[in-house]
Amino acid sequence: MTGPPLGIDVAFRSDTGRTRRHNEDYVGYYEPQSDHEMAASGRLYIVADGVGGAAAGEVASQYAVRKVLAEYYAADEPDPESRLIRAVTAANADIYNFADARPRPMATTLVAAVVREDELIIANVGDSRAYLVRGGKIRQVTEDHSLTAQMVRQGKLSEEEAELHPKRNLLVRTVGGADRVQVDVFGGPLLLGDVVVLCTDGLTRYVSEAEITEAVSSMRPQQAVDVLVRTANERGGKDNITVLVLQVVEPDDDLDTEPRARALDAPDSPDLHEIEQTLAARRETPTPRPPVPVSPLALGAVAAVALGLVLLALGGGFAGGSAAAGTPTALPPRHDAGGQYRPNRDAERRLRGRCRRPLYGRGGPVRKPRVVGGRGAHRRAGTGRRGAGRADVERFRECLVAAAAHAAGRHARDGLGLAGQS
């Protein structure tokens, strides 16, 4: 014992992000209730980021956190650093052997913090990080076990080049990725007011160290984790985001009770098969989504086009006005007194103007049937006359139907999109 025990105010948040469908991150911690266990083992906080895809990553990260907690508190060894290394090594062996018989690889990053009295012990594998904020200054305690970080330490890449490197997410060390794992361990004293941050790369990709410092130095842990996760989501959120913040306070300070209630009641030895089955059952049961409200504009557009198509099918025309008022409602064929076909030049001119204007949807310009008409059209249509022939009229009609259907679909989508936004 190097000093009196300190109080800890802790909070965490794990978010799926804006792109991923599943959260492969996992976070857990345990704070002993008995004074004897607290003095012997201290508190243990862990964050993990699964690797290998949704199913494999979720299983690996959840198992690693629970296994390390169980192994650490079940060990009889007095040295917390050795116990922590043995616990991570045991989780690595289990995940590796479990994944070896499966077609997809399964692994996870892991960063853990032990707080025993006024002593801090950090262990990590992978690129999930631990930061220590003291006196308004931040220091990254852990080293990333990624290819680019390794190249930066070797002087082969600069920090700026590493951020843009195509293999910046490639890990060279994980829990479960090989039959053996090397665990980095760091230790040092804790002071009153210190803040420890454990996080996955879903946070550090979007939030700078200066912004992390500002958040945890000016806010309580619960507010800080909410702000940090929200900031990462606003800037892209392409990965799962997990952050845990613990602040060293006086033992008799009033602490937030809600985050402390999230701690595990007691570490128990997990079962990989059980975790896999539980997660598989959860994925097979889709979460019901609330119905998307439809705007009156979208409904009106769909109804109008549907009515137009019905009239077109029944009457051979396109609904565009009143026949009784003398306004053409279609493009009817015209015949002279001898029964010969002659072009409807007025209708042709109107329709050419409509169909020659490209309609743009959300996916880019929509190609319409090529309009054939005007000078020289008789040679293509075979009518022997100038102007639009019968084949041209049919092409105009197809053009109108396609344009109307496309416009209806576009208006309906626009209406849905506007109605669904908050």
Contact indicator for 229, 241 with CB cutoff of 8 Å: yes
- 195 lies in the same domain as 344: no
Give the distance, in angstroms, between the CA of residue 304 and the centroid of all CA atoms in the same chain. 38
Least confident of 37-51, 170-184, 250-264, 348-362: 348-362
Q: How many other CB atoms are there within 10 angstroms of residue 140's CB atom?
A: 13
CA dihedral 254, 73, 186, 38 (to 10 degrees): 30
As a whole number, mean pLDDT of residues 303-319 equals 59
- 303 lies in the same domain as 273: no
Judge whether 2 lies within some domain.
no
Contact indicator for 78, 56 with CB cutoff of 8 Å: no
- 157 lies in the same domain as 123: yes
Report how far residue 390's alpha carbon sits from residue 344's, in angstroms, rounded to the nearest whole number: 10
Judge whether 290 lies within some domain.
no
- 269 lies in the same domain as 371: no
Contact indicator for 381, 372 with CB cutoff of 8 Å: yes
pLDDT, residue 10, reads 95
Judge whether 291 lies within some domain.
no
Give the CA count within 13 Å in the CB-facing half-sphere of 344: 19
Task: Give Cβ neighbours of residue 5 (< 8 Å, ≥ 6 apart).
Answer: 38, 39, 117, 118, 251
Is the model more confident about 305 or about 17?
Answer: 17
Task: Give Cβ neighbours of residue 83 (< 8 Å, ≥ 6 apart).
Answer: 41, 71, 72, 75, 77
Judge whether 53 lies within some domain.
yes
Give the distance, in angstroms, between the CA of residue 22 and the centroid of all CA atoms in the same chain. 8
Rg (CA), the chain: 33
Please tell me the total count of domains within the chain.
2
pLDDT, residue 330, reads 41
Where among 256, 284, 312 does a domain terminate? 284
CA dihedral 193, 199, 204, 210 (to 10 degrees): 0
Judge whether 289 lies within some domain.
no
Judge whether 164 lies within some domain.
yes
As a whole number, mean pLDDT of residues 245-274 equals 67
Report how far residue 390's alpha carbon sits from residue 398's, in angstroms, rounded to the nearest whole number: 12
Residue 19 is part of a domain; what is its CATH number? Answer: 3.60.40.10
Where among 284, 319, 343 does a domain terminate? 284
- 317 lies in the same domain as 250: no
Task: Give Cβ neighbours of residue 87 (< 8 Å, ≥ 6 apart).
Answer: 67, 68, 69, 70, 71, 72, 75
- 107 lies in the same domain as 222: yes
- 251 lies in the same domain as 355: no
Judge whether 323 lies within some domain.
yes
pLDDT, residue 409, reads 53
pLDDT, residue 245, reads 98
Judge whether 169 lies within some domain.
yes
- 204 lies in the same domain as 334: no
Q: Tell me the pLDDT band of 147, cut-offs 50, 70 and 90.
A: confident
Report how far residue 260's alpha carbon sits from residue 8's, in angstroms, rounded to the nearest whole number: 10
Is the model more confident about 385 or about 145?
Answer: 145
Strands 7-15, 241-249: parallel, antiparallel or unpaired by DSSP?
antiparallel
- 36 lies in the same domain as 107: yes
pLDDT, residue 418, reads 35
Planar angle of CA 380, 385, 390, nearest 5 degrees: 65
The 10s digit of each residue's pLDDT in 186-240 is: 999 999 999 999 999 999 999 999 999 999 999 999 999 999 999 999 999 999 9
Where among 284, 311, 332 does a domain terminate? 284
- 256 lies in the same domain as 300: no
Res. 268: pLDDT tops 90: no
Least confident of 18-27, 36-45, 102-111, 307-316: 307-316
Least confident of 289-293, 308-312, 389-393: 289-293
The SS3 of residue 355 is helix
- 167 lies in the same domain as 235: yes
- 112 lies in the same domain as 25: yes
Report how far residue 388's alpha carbon sits from residue 335's, in angstroms, rounded to the nearest whole number: 14
Average predicted confidence (pLDDT) for the chain:
76
Q: What domain range is 48 assigned to?
A: 7-284
pLDDT, residue 363, reads 40
Task: Give Cβ neighbours of residue 163 (< 8 Å, ≥ 6 apart).
Answer: none
Res. 328: pLDDT tops 50: no
